[in-house]
């Protein structure tokens, strides 16, 4: 196999249409594939792997994929001669590597949703396979492509901040996001998704820390955190097993399934109503019945089977002596990502949610202390700070062998953020500093 695919890399051709197969017809992979709708001369989805028959049919219709190019499993796909340049892998976290290895062996380049894997061993296996098969692998760390973070990276590369001494970042996971994904949803326990809260929610943020220090390896990690709030012993008096069945305080509860999912029908609908997706247009009665019976999103948030942490702090040391911290807090009133980068010549800070950065430099002139400049990078509420489609633009360039942006790094460099996350979880469990080298 290696000899057959070794020499078929796409030559530099800025006009070549890149073709792709979607593997796992989830929300993210469909979004990435939709890049071709606005850029039909750059990307076209020509194949599909999806085990769910209804979802497979719906996705095939969206992208006009012929039936002969639709498959239930990756094994069925790779049994066919390769008919596309790349695969967009949006499967669940714990089968990312399992489904990616056959694709690489079959000669497909790869766009892989984060996290790369749920453990270090599988991640290194993916890296080895990508090297051996000479396939290109891009990880969907879309925040790297958000103008907000690109501006920070550019200022660092231009030397405006001097040497980076410390980076502080945080992610506040809103109460409704925490509920739908990490308490009631499919990322609520490590033996389900096989991904920790930190890796499922903050691999973006850890990647940003590693990317801003690109070329400088992390060497030590420590971490603390636990499941403090969403436990049965913390359940309010009068709460029940299901919000719409036996809860006496539903009308007062912030986490009421009625308030979060019925009163906000468009918010998280692709997660909440997946259990009744065979009904294309479920009525309000259908939804209420679902929440009352077998829908996991109808459960009391204090009486679920969740075991992932609801807050965690990470401390990192790099081999040049600089440090970084990341704080994840679940259940916040308002979602948000914040960052503060401090260097020997200046600092830059801001929130990706409003897109405004503040650049600060020391100013020792009489009557002054520092200079301050606000930089607006806002993208009018675009997903992930406007990074999704910018990442797809770069992915096309990578496959075409064109020069890509400063956001793109090799897989070798991309794994640093994941190594930080894996070691942080080990440090939290073992109560000690973990060494990465």
| One domain, residues 118 and 254 | no
| pLDDT number for residue 4 | 35
| pLDDT number for residue 86 | 98
pLDDT exceeds 70 at position 7: no
| One domain, residues 64 and 200 | no
| pLDDT number for residue 61 | 97
Q: Summarize the confidence of residues 379-390 as an average pLDDT.
A: 70
Q: Which residue has the tokens 């231009």?
A: 158
Cα 242–chain centre separation: 30
* 391 within domain boundaries: no
Angle at 340 between CA 205 and CA 355, to 5 degrees: 75
Last residue of a domain, one of 112, 140, 168: 140
* 392 within domain boundaries: no
| One domain, residues 348 and 421 | yes
| Number of domains within the chain | 3
Cα–Cα distance, 286 to 291 (Å, whole number): 9
| pLDDT number for residue 270 | 84
The SS3 assignment for 193 reads: coil
| One domain, residues 133 and 48 | yes
Among the listed residues 26, 48, 24, 193, the one whose alpha carbon sits nearest the alpha carbon of residue 99: 24
* Residues 51 and 70 sit within 8 Å (Cβ to Cβ): no
* Residues 342 and 167 sit within 8 Å (Cβ to Cβ): yes
Cα–Cα distance, 92 to 247 (Å, whole number): 32
| One domain, residues 252 and 361 | no
The mean pLDDT value of the chain amounts to 92
**The total number of residues written for the chain in this structure:** 437
| One domain, residues 327 and 426 | yes
Among the listed residues 371, 219, 238, 373, the one whose alpha carbon sits nearest the alpha carbon of residue 300: 238
Edge-first strand listing for the sheet containing 356-362: 370-376, 356-362, 347-351, 336-343, 164-174, 323-332, 311-318, 218-226, 434-435
| pLDDT number for residue 362 | 97
* 106 within domain boundaries: yes
Q: Summarize the confidence of residues 376-399 as an average pLDDT.
A: 82
| pLDDT number for residue 195 | 84
| pLDDT number for residue 276 | 77
Retrieve residue 54's tokens. Answer: 């209804």
Task: Note down the domain range covering 25.
Answer: 2-140
The SS3 assignment for 88 reads: strand
| One domain, residues 333 and 426 | yes
Cα–Cα distance, 365 to 350 (Å, whole number): 26
| pLDDT number for residue 387 | 82
Among the listed residues 118, 111, 160, the one whose alpha carbon sits nearest the alpha carbon of residue 139: 111
Cα–Cα distance, 232 to 218 (Å, whole number): 38
Cα–Cα distance, 106 to 102 (Å, whole number): 6
Which range has the worst mean pLDDT, 115-129, 211-225, 384-398?
384-398
| pLDDT number for residue 1 | 31
Burial (0-12, 13-18, 19+ Cβ within 10 Å), 345: exposed
pTM: 0.88
| One domain, residues 370 and 285 | no
Cα–Cα distance, 353 to 336 (Å, whole number): 6
| pLDDT number for residue 2 | 33
Among the listed residues 427, 160, 172, 207, the one whose alpha carbon sits nearest the alpha carbon of residue 324: 207
| pLDDT number for residue 78 | 98
pLDDT exceeds 60 at position 381: no
pLDDT exceeds 60 at position 437: yes
Cα–Cα distance, 148 to 354 (Å, whole number): 9
Q: How far is CA 276 from CA 153, 179, 244, 266, 279, in A?
A: 44, 19, 17, 15, 6
User: How do residues 64-90 score in pLDDT, each as one tens digit?
Assistant: 999 999 999 999 999 999 999 999 999
* 393 within domain boundaries: no
Cα–Cα distance, 379 to 384 (Å, whole number): 10
Strand partners, 43: 18
* 43 within domain boundaries: yes
Which segments of 214-363 are extended strands (E)?
A: 218-226, 311-318, 323-332, 336-343, 347-351, 356-362
| One domain, residues 224 and 236 | no
pLDDT exceeds 50 at position 355: yes
pLDDT exceeds 90 at position 9: no
Residue 12 — very low, low, confident or very high, per pLDDT cuts 50/70/90? low
Angle at 330 between CA 325 and CA 333, to 5 degrees: 110
| pLDDT number for residue 194 | 81
| pLDDT number for residue 384 | 56
pLDDT exceeds 50 at position 191: yes
Highest mean predicted confidence (pLDDT) among 4-13, 188-197, 221-230: 221-230
Burial (0-12, 13-18, 19+ Cβ within 10 Å), 66: exposed
323-332 and 137-139 strand pairing: unpaired
Q: What is the largest CA-CA distance in the chain?
A: 75
Cα 77–chain centre separation: 25
User: How do residues 268-295 score in pLDDT, each as one tens digit?
Assistant: 998 999 877 666 678 999 999 999 999 9
Among the listed residues 205, 429, 222, the one whose alpha carbon sits nearest the alpha carbon of residue 308: 429
| One domain, residues 377 and 314 | yes
| pLDDT number for residue 6 | 38
| One domain, residues 167 and 125 | no
| pLDDT number for residue 5 | 37
User: How do residues 111-160 score in pLDDT, each as one tens digit?
Assistant: 999 989 999 999 999 999 999 999 999 999 999 999 999 999 999 999 99
pLDDT exceeds 70 at position 265: yes
């Amino acid at each position: 196999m290696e000899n057959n695919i070794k020499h078929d890399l796409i030559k530099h051709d800025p006009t070549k249409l890149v073709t792709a197969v979607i593997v796992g017809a989830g929300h993210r992979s469909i979004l990435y594939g939709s890049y071709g709708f606005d850029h039909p001369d750059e990307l076209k989805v020509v194949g599909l792997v999806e085990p769910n028959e209804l979802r497979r049919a719906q996705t095939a219709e969206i992208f006009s994929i012929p039936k002969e190019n639709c498959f239930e499993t990756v094994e069925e796909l790779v049994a066919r001669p390769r008919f596309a340049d790349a695969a967009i892998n949006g499967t669940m976290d714990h089968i990312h590597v399992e489904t990616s290895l056959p694709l690489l062996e079959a000669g497909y380049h790869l766009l892989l949703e984060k996290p790369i894997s749920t453990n270090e061993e599988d991640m290194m296996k993916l890296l080895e396979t990508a090297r051996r098969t000479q396939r290109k692998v891009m990880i969907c760390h879309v925040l790297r492509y958000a103008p907000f973070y690109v501006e920070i990276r550019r200022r660092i590369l231009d030397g405006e901040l001097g040497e980076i001494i410390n980076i502080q970042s945080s992610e506040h996971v809103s109460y409704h996001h925490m509920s739908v994904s990490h308490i009631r949803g499919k990322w609520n326990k490590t033996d389900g998704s096989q991904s920790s809260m930190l890796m499922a929610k903050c691999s973006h943020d850890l990647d940003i820390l590693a990317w801003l220090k690109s070329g400088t390896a992390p060497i030590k990690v420590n971490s603390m955190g636990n499941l403090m709030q969403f436990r049965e012993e913390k359940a309010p008096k009068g709460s029940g097993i299901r919000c719409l069945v036996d809860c006496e305080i539903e009308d007062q509860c912030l986490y009421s399934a009625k308030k979060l999912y019925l009163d906000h029908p468009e918010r998280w609908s692709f997660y909440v109503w997946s259990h009744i997706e065979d009904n294309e247009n479920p009525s309000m009665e259908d939804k209420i019945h679902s929440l009352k019976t077998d829908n996991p999103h109808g459960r009391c948030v204090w009486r679920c089977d969740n075991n992932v942490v609801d807050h965690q702090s990470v401390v990192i040391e790099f081999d040049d002596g600089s440090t970084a911290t990341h704080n994840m807090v679940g259940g916040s009133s308002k979602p948000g990502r914040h960052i503060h980068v401090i260097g020997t010549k200046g600092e830059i800070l801001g929130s990706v949610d409003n897109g405004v950065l503040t650049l600060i430099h020391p100013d020792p002139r009489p009557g002054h202390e520092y200079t301050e400049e606000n930089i607006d990078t806002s993208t009018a509420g675009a997903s992930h700070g406007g990074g999704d489609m910018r990442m797809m633009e770069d992915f096309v360039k990578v496959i075409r062998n064109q020069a890509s942006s400063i956001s793109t790094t090799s897989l070798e460099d991309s794994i640093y953020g994941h190594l930080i996350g894996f070691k942080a979880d080990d440090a939290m469990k073992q109560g000690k500093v973990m060494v990465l080298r």
